[in-house]
Amino acid sequence: MAGKERDFGTGESVGLTIGSALLWGVAHIATGRQRTGFALMTVYLVLVAVIVTLATAFRGQLLSLAVRPSWLMALTIAIAAIAVIWSVVILWSFWLVRPAASGRNPAAATAGLLCLMIIAPSAWATRLAYVSHDVVSSVFSATTSTPVVSMDPWSGATRLNILLVGADAAANRIGVRTDSMTVASIDTVTGRTTLFGLPRNLEQAPMPKGPARDRFPYGFTGEGPRTPGLLNEVYQYAENHPEVVPGVRSGHRGPTLLKETISGILGIPVDYYAMVDMAGFAEIIDAMGGVKVTIREPITYGRHSEGVLPAGTRRLSGEDALWYGRSRTNSDDYVRMGRQKCLLNAVAQQADPVTLLNSFERLAGATKRAISTDFPQDLLPALMDLGQKVKRTHIRSVQFVPPLISTAYPDWDLIRETVADALKDRPKVAKPASATPSSTPNAGDAISLDDVCG
* pLDDT confidence of residue 148: 47
Number of helices followed by number of strands (H, E) in the chain: 18, 12
State how far the Cα of 58 lies from the Cα of 306, in Å rounded to an integer. Answer: 52
Residues 6+ apart with CB under 8 A from 6: 30, 31, 97
Which run of H or of E encompasses 62?
A: helix 59-65
Per DSSP, helices labelled H in 267-306 are 278-287
Which residues of 68-131 form beta strands (DSSP E)?
Answer: none
Bridge pairing between strands 272-277 and 371-373: antiparallel
Q: In this structure, how many other beta carbons lie within 10 angstroms of the beta carbon of residue 435?
A: 21
d(CA 106, CA 287): 42
Residues shown for the chain: 454
In the DSSP assignment, the letter for residue 148 is P
Burial of 116 (0-12, 13-18, 19+ CB in 10 A): exposed
**Topology adopted by domain 159-200+267-453:** Aminopeptidase (3.40.630)
Return per-residue pLDDT of the chain as tens, 454 residues. Answer: 444 456 788 899 999 999 999 999 999 999 999 999 999 999 999 999 998 887 777 666 666 666 777 777 888 888 899 999 999 999 999 999 988 776 678 889 999 999 999 999 999 888 888 888 888 888 887 765 444 445 678 888 999 999 999 887 554 556 678 888 999 999 999 999 999 999 999 999 999 999 999 999 999 999 877 788 999 999 999 999 999 999 999 989 999 999 999 999 999 999 999 998 877 788 888 888 888 988 888 888 765 556 788 888 889 888 888 888 878 776 777 777 778 778 877 887 777 666 666 677 777 887 888 888 999 988 888 888 888 888 888 888 899 988 899 999 999 999 999 999 999 854 444 444 334 444 444 545 666 666 667 6
What per-residue confidence (pLDDT) applies to 427?
42
| Own/partner pairs, 78-82, CB within 8 angstroms, 24+ separation | 79/122, 79/125, 79/126, 79/129, 80/122, 80/126, 82/47, 82/122
Closest residue by Cα to residue 235 from 319, 169, 156, 153: 169
Q: What is the DSSP pairing of strand 159-168 with strand 291-295?
A: unpaired
pTM of the model: 0.73
List the domain boundaries for the chain. 3-139, 159-200+267-453
Angle 424-430-433 from CA coordinates, rounded to 5°: 170
pLDDT of residue 221: 94
Structural contact between residues 233 and 224, judged by C-beta atoms closer than 8 angstroms = no
C-beta atoms surrounding 160 within 10 Å: 22
pLDDT at residue number 454: 60
Residue 102: its pLDDT value, please?
67
